[in-house]
Amino acid sequence: MGQIYKNIYKYVPRLGKIEGSLVEIGASRPGDDQSTQYLYDLSKQLGIDFVTCDINFQRVRDLNDQRIPAVCDKGEDFLSVYEPKISIAYLDNFDWNWHPMATDDWTLDQIKEYRDKYNVEMTNVYSQAAHVHQTVLVEAKTADNSIICIDDTWFQSTWDTYQGKGAAAVPYLLAKGYTVLETTNGRDGTYGIILGRFKHG
């Protein structure tokens, strides 16, 4: 977990005239990193549309009550029908199990919630699958200049590969012409990656 999204602003000037919206997949929860509020505020500063998508109906209702645009759906289902161009995307849904061999009790509760409420098996492989699926959908809808940020993703130098939620998504984006703008490895308590593709400007 981390707050890599707070560094997106550093690369906004490279977008030039922003042609698309800011989309978050996986809304923040009360008491956590507050990415949704931060990104909503950023969208207002940039004068662009914002929407967050989350599978939890109560969270979506609470955000809408705060007048923050939110949609209740699976990220990939939402992105399949989302029509506007995307200039900035933040993917932080489908939680990552940091201790699969000794899973914490609260994570076990979350696994049960995913299964009972959403008919989703919360495993790390499925988390990676969801993120690469969403990344494929996002990339196809991006404006000419775009930034994609993925939480809980880091470069494992020992194996020379990416790990975490975006382990499959990062190579896909690299193949599509994105470059890594910034990544963290946990030393500062955060994990995440920011990639960009700038065709002009």
Read off the pLDDT of residues 158-178 as tens digits, 9 standing for 90 and up: 889 999 999 999 999 999 999
pLDDT at 201: 54
- Residue range of the domain that includes 28: 4-198
pLDDT at 62: 96
State yes or no: pLDDT of 31 exceeds 80.
Answer: no
- Grouping H, G, I as helix, E, B as strand and the rest as coil, residue 14 is helix
DSSP class of residue 195 equals E
pLDDT at 18: 97
**Total count of domains within the chain:** 1
DSSP class of residue 84 equals S
Q: Which two tokens stand for residue 14?
A: 């490279």
66 against 123, higher pLDDT = 66
The most confident of 109-118, 137-146, 183-192, by mean pLDDT: 137-146
Q: What is the mean pLDDT of the chain?
A: 91
Handedness of CA 140, 141, 143, 149 (dihedral sign): negative
Cα separation, 46 vs 56, whole angstroms: 28
Q: CA geometry: angle at 192 spanning 187 and 194, to 5°? A: 125
Let me know how long the chain is: 201
Closest CA to 50 of 67, 74, 72: 67
132 pLDDT band, cuts 50/70/90, is: very high
Read off the pLDDT of residues 62-101 as tens digits, 9 standing for 90 and up: 999 999 999 999 999 999 999 999 999 999 987 776 777 7
Instruction: Give the CATH number of the domain where residue 188 resides.
Output: 3.40.50.150
Read off the pLDDT of residues 36-49 as tens digits, 9 standing for 90 and up: 999 999 999 999 99
pTM over 0.85: yes
